Every structure is written in C-alpha cells, then in structure tokens.
Structure 1
Amino acid sequence: MSTIHWTTGDTRQSARWHSESAAPLPQQIVLADDRMKADDAYRLAREGTALLWQGDFHNARHLLQAMGRRLDRTRPRSGTSPSESFHLHRRHRSHRARVLGKLLVLLDDDYRLALRRAPDVRQACREAYGPPQGPTAVSLRELLGVIGAHQWRMKGVDVPALGARIHPHYGVFAPVRGEYVDLVARAPLPPAVQRTPETSTAFETSTAFDLGTGTGVLAAVLARRGINRVVATDISPRALACARDNAHRLALADRIEVSGPGLFPEGRADLIVCNPPWLPARPTSAIEQGVYDPDSSMLHGFLTGLSAHLRPGGEGWLILSDLAEHLGLRTRRQLLDAIRAADLRVVERIDTKPRHPRTRDANDPLHTARSAETTSLWRLTAQPSPGMLTPQMRREVPAFTRITSRILLHPVK
C-alpha cells in the first residue's frame, strides 16, 4: 500500500494513494483551494508537484479544464508519417494525463468527498474500487472518470442489434461503436451451426465462444441469434463481472457462460468470435486495454489457437479495424501472413465503415487515418492438413484457395 503525506498547519496527515493508471506516488504535495490561479497550478503540476484540493468541487473542475487548455496549446503538429503522428499524439496524451493527474482530492473512509458542492460519489467509488479501506487520495481526473462510468452503468448503452441496452462497468470498454456489433449480428452463421434441424427454435447442439467479451455484448448477440450455448471469456475480472451482469439483465444467463480469466475456454466450438483491441500499442490505463494490444498479442493468440478449438465445419470470426494499417502500425500483408501461418484460410471478409463522430472531425490529429478506416469481419476456417484431405477435397482446395484469395467484399449498410 502506498501512502501520501502532507501537512495542514502543524499537523502531518496521510492517506492511501490509489491510481488506476499506476501513476507513481506523488512526492511533493501542496494544499490548493479556490484562490489557486490556473497558471500557478499548471506550472506546479508540470514541475511534478501534486495539488491536494480543499476548495469548491466545481471550481476544481474549472481549474482542471483551464489546465487542460494550457496543455492543448502545446499539442504537437502532425509528423512526417502516419506512424510518427500517432506516436506524437500518444506522447502528448500521456503527458497531458500525467500533468492533469496532479490535481488530487481526498475521499474519506466511506468514499465521501468532503468538498463544497461535491456530489455523492460513494456508490460510484465502490463500483470502481471495491470496499473502502480508509482515507484515499485519487486524482480528480480519475474520479470524474469513475463518476462518468457510474452514470453509463446506470443508464446503459443502446444497442440496436440487440434491441436492448448494455450496461458497462468501470474499466470495461463500452460498445459505443455499433458497426462491429452489427457485423456479428448480420454475418451468415457457419454450416456447422446451420446444419441443426430446422424444427428447433434454437440451435440446440451449437456452441460459440466469445473471446475478450468485455461487456458481453457480442455473446448476447450470438445468443439472441439462436446459438444455444455461448462461452464468454476475458482476462479482466471487471469484464467478467460486467458480462455476467449483462447476461442476467438480458435474461440470457441460462445460455451465456462467463469463464476466465483467460483467452480460450476448454473444448471446441462451432463458432469462435474475437474482437481484439485494434491498435498494437501499450495501454496506459484499464479502459485503454479495449483499444491497445501490445505487439498484437491477443490477435496472434486468437489466430494461433483457433484451429485447435474449432469443431469440423466451424468458423472463427475476427472483427478488426484497419486503422492500424492507415497509421502505419501494421500492414495488411502482416495480417494475412499471420492468418496463413496459423493454417487458416479466409472464407469471406465483410466490410463496413465506422459511424463515430471522429471520422468527421478535421481537428483530430489522426483524422486522415480515421476517415479512411474500415471495420471488417473475417470469416476464417481451419486449413485441413494434407493427411486429412479426401481425393475430392484435394481437387477442390486449390480452386477454393484461388477464389478466397480475392476476398469477397459485402459492405454492411
């Protein structure tokens, strides 16, 4: 347990230090209140001094915004290449988070925030941090994220493909980009699922895996499409709890089994779906784990383990954006080589264009790449080994390989 110390008058005080982004323990702390000027706060924070706020809550938020505006004036220009622009953008965002994270607030031993005009944050903090363990200091920026996450959890996110709302927990990526959900809702189910007798209201013998389930939204879509058993996995305990919560809310707990932490569950499935983080970079916080995948480790883990977990006639669905390609972080050739190296073949690629506002924001430093982005669902099957091929299959495989090498494109409206 890390502890911060400061002095009020002649009294030395202390509190637990908590940071979801693993920010280091502040070494120098000064008290700050409504008299603190934004220029002074910005200078102290840039020098590494933490400001423990004791004034009005809303004034603290205004001060944080003022410090953010000063940081944005130092935002770097675009680099000479898309990858350089991305790394400059990430470096600036990291610096911005580090400086703004120096404005701290103190939560008491019941997570109460004892500031004028402060909201009741106790339930939000319990959801994010668990049971209280005594007075705790956190950055105001992080606390605002905790409050926002609580509001998202209470209100939920509308998912048209489900005709229902998904309720994300703190630290779990919310399904606000609906295009990837629509792809899973509309893609043709594999023959291994479709061979089930038509008289059944559900595909009673079918099993699907949803790897990296997050909120459980894709597991819910698969269950709603009639797949009788869906096993949802994740490496994050928060995501596992969130997926269970959503399965219960949607009355699908009898068909969705949440398992983990891990990537693949035991056994084999007719359909294995994976929507890995789309950018090969290191996350700096829990929520960024839904966006950044260091060295594409989850992507490669899915591809290399897929064949061993598919039933005959089954498919793996890889949902992936090509934003990394437009940013120069990964090439299409590298992706196709990874698919081939895993003894997989492409049945079809279904494309759609993102609908989120950033694609139209010309002030976004990554606007060029975002405006060109395409999100795809790759339908993959295991490449049979030569010893498994019948004479008829040996005649058909070369022709099939030639067909699929052109990749069929079916845009989703």
Structure 2
Amino acid sequence: MSTINWTQGHTHRSAHWHSENGAPLPKRTVLADDRTKADDAYRQACEGTALLWQGDFHNARQLLQAMGRRIDRKPSRPSTSPSDSFHQHRRSSSHRARVLGKLLVVLDGDYNLALRRAPDLRQACQEAYGPATEPMAVSLRELLGVIGAHQWRLKGVDVPALSARVHPHYGVFAPVRGEYVDLVARAPLPAVARQLPASSTAFDLGTGTGVLAAVLARRGINRVVATDISPRALACARENVHRLGLTDRIEVSGPGLFPEGPERRADLVVCNPPWLPARPTGPIEQGVHDPDSTMLHGFLAGLSAHLRPGGEGWLILSDLAEHLGLRTRRHLLDAVGAAGLRVVGRIDTKPRHPRAKDADDPLHTARSAETTSLWRLVAME
C-alpha cells in the first residue's frame, strides 16, 4: 500500500494513500489552511504538489471551487469535429480531476475528519470504503463525491416504471436517465415468455442497481438472474431487490457477465452496456465508458449460446458514440452479424435529461441528436 508522508511542526506523520480514480501518490505534500491563497494553491496543484488541508472544512470547499474557476478561465481551442470535441472534453475533464485532486484531507482510523465544521462522515465512508482500519489521505473532491453518494443512497431515485425508488450505492451508476428503463418497461416480451410465463427466465447483464431486473420481474418474468462484474453493484442490486420485495423472483449472481451454472439459457437476455468506447477515469464513469466496447462485444459474442429457442436479446444502446465519431452504425451491425445474430426490431426514444438541451455543453451538438434504442436480437437459424 502507498503511504503519504508530511511534516507537521517537528513531527513526521503518514497516512495510507487512497484514490478511487487510481491517481498516483503525490511526489510532494505541503500543508495548507485558511491562510492559503487560491492562486498559490492552484499553481502548486498544477505543478503536482499536493496540499494537505488543516483549516476549516467549509473554507476547504470554497478553495476547491476557487481552484475550479481558475481552470475554467483557460480558453479551449476550437474543435474541428465531433470526435475532436469529445477528446478535448475528456482531456479537459482529466486535467480538472488531476488538479483539483491535489487538495487532500486525512481521515483518522474511524473515518473521523478532524477539521473545524466538518460533518460526520463515518457512515458515508463506511458505505464507500468498507470498515475503517487506519488513517487515510483522500482528495477532498473524492470525499465530496462520497458524501453526495451517501445522500443519493438515502434518498433514492424515483423510477416511475416501478412506482418505487431505487437506492444507488457509491460507485454504481444511478438510473437518473429514465428513458432506457422505460424502453425495457414497454418493449413487447418474447412470445415464448408471454405464452409460458410460469417458466419464463431472463438475464439482466450488468445489472448495476438492479433496476432493469426489477422491471422485468414486475412485468411477469418468473425468474430473473442479474449479474455484474462489480462487487459494489452486486451488493447494491441485492439491497434493492430486498427493498422491492423481489427476492423470490430475482437472483443476483456474480461477479461475471453471463450467469454460470447448469441453467445457462434464458427466454430474454437484457444488456445495457456503457455507451461510449472510452477509458473511464473513475468508478462512476464505468457505467458510461467502456474501452473498446468490451462489454458490448462480450454480450453479442455470448448471446446466441445463452438463448432458449424463440428467445430474444435486448441491447439498450445510445447512438451518442456515433454522433461523436467514436463508433459507426455499420460497425455495430457488423458486430451483430459476426456474432450469429439478426435484428428483428428496434424501439427508439429521445433523451430527456437537461444536458441534451444545454447549448453551453461542449458536446451539445451530439447530445441534441442522440437517440437511445432497444435492439431486439435473435439467433440466426
């Protein structure tokens, strides 16, 4: 484990270094407090120096905001294409995360933050990090994300298709974009599932919060197996399945993509993979970014072998990557055909989230043209 070291007064101190984004251990760490000027903090952070905060908690948040404003002052160069806009946006976001991630705080062995006016973070940190074991240095930016995730977990996300709320965990993609849930809620079930509902089986691959598995169960699928590769997602899905009273209908299994075991086939296999073929920079982005579309291709490659006769695979996918020049429609259709599958139907919907209408968003042109589709796939005969 990496250890961050600093000197306070004449005392040498250290703490375990933790970064959910995989940020490297800072090469140099200095102390900062309420007297630290934003310009000095921004300069040192840009140079790679970490600032370990010793002052008031609310002042630390204000300093972080002030550093962010200094990043925003730097004008971006004009983009020449949608793909250029995307990569420029990613570079800017990466730079922002790298610089703002240099403002650090230390949590003690009980996740207590010994700063003036600091909130009680113990429950939020236990939910995100697990049991406390030793003092830990984290970026204030990450810690604010942990606090926000805790609030989302308590409040939950309203899902009209379920007439209930789903409670996301830290690092698990929240179903705030309801259009993909609505597609699964209204697409016609395969005929075999409608004709024999008592024996119908579905797989929900990459279940996340478990929301799509719950929708399928509420629609009458007798048995749903929900999988994910993330231990956090598996724990989150199990909790939501229990909250919704669906433990007798939904089995949460993993880590893995397709379920393992003797019952490897289903009448319906649903997959909502990350929509953009790009490298995620943190746990939350794993629900949106997937390098080389690995999950998409894994779903397509394994689908035929996991369908019962008359079964369907439902691929829920946005065409945002196409508008950004990251993937073509021909590439997607070729991958479908190469996997021994054919398209028997498609249901489209337009995004309803605010960013689709935000003209100041750097990706506005692509977002405003985006369509989310449910592709109905069957095995070639």
TM-score interval, smaller chain:
over 0.9
CA separation in 2, counterparts of 1:188 and 1:12?
65
Change in Cα spacing, 1:160 to 1:77, as seen in structure 2 (3 Å) is: farther
Corresponding residue for 1:372?
369
TM-score (norm 2): 0.98
Contact 1:44 1:50 in 2 (8 A): yes
Corresponding residue for 1:295?
292
Q: CA deviation at 1:195?
A: 1.3
Corresponding residue for 2:71?
71
Larger Rg computed on CA atoms: 1
1:341 aligns with 2:338: yes
CA separation in 1, counterparts of 2:343 and 2:171?
33
How does 1:1-12 map onto structure 2 within 5 Å?
1-12=1-12
Corresponding residue for 1:129?
129
Instruction: List alignment gaps of at least 5 residues for structure 2.
Output: none
- SS of residue matched to 1:194: helix
Q: CA deviation at 1:77?
A: 3.5
Contact 1:78 1:365 in 2 (8 A): no
- SS of residue matched to 1:305: helix
1:168-195 superposed Cα distances (whole Å, 9 cap, x missing partner): 0000000000000000000000011011
Corresponding residue for 2:349?
352
1:231 aligns with 2:231: no
- Moved runs in structure 1, 4+ residues, more than 4 A? none
CA separation in 2, counterparts of 1:59 and 1:320?
42
Corresponding residue for 1:104?
104
Corresponding residue for 1:177?
177
Identity among equivalent positions (%) equals 82
Which of 305, 311, 316 is the matching residue for 1:314? Answer: 311
Corresponding residue for 2:158?
158
CA separation in 2, counterparts of 1:295 and 1:282?
8
- SS of residue matched to 1:378: strand
CA separation in 2, counterparts of 1:227 and 1:359?
33
Contact 1:348 1:378 in 2 (8 A): yes
Q: CA deviation at 1:75?
A: 4.9
Which of 261, 275, 280 is the matching residue for 2:277? Answer: 280
Contact 1:75 1:92 in 2 (8 A): no
- SS of residue matched to 1:12: strand
TM-score (norm 1): 0.91
1:140 aligns with 2:140: yes
- SS of residue matched to 1:70: helix
CA separation in 2, counterparts of 1:97 and 1:163?
37
CA separation in 2, counterparts of 1:71 and 1:204?
58
1:260-301 superposed Cα distances (whole Å, 9 cap, x missing partner): 110001310000000000000001111110000100110010
Corresponding residue for 2:117?
117
Letter in 2 for 1:220: A
Letter in 2 for 1:305: G
CA separation in 2, counterparts of 1:189 and 1:372?
28
Letter in 2 for 1:226: G
Corresponding residue for 1:252?
246
CA separation in 2, counterparts of 1:115 and 1:9?
17
CA separation in 2, counterparts of 1:4 and 1:204?
57
Corresponding residue for 1:395?
none
Which of 164, 184, 201 is the matching residue for 1:207? Answer: 201
Letter in 2 for 1:358: R
Aligned residues: 378
Q: CA RMSD in A?
A: 0.7
CA separation in 2, counterparts of 1:121 and 1:254?
35
Letter in 1 for 2:57: F
Q: CA deviation at 1:78?
A: 4.0
Corresponding residue for 1:200?
none
Corresponding residue for 2:95?
95
Q: CA deviation at 1:55?
A: 0.5
Corresponding residue for 2:50?
50
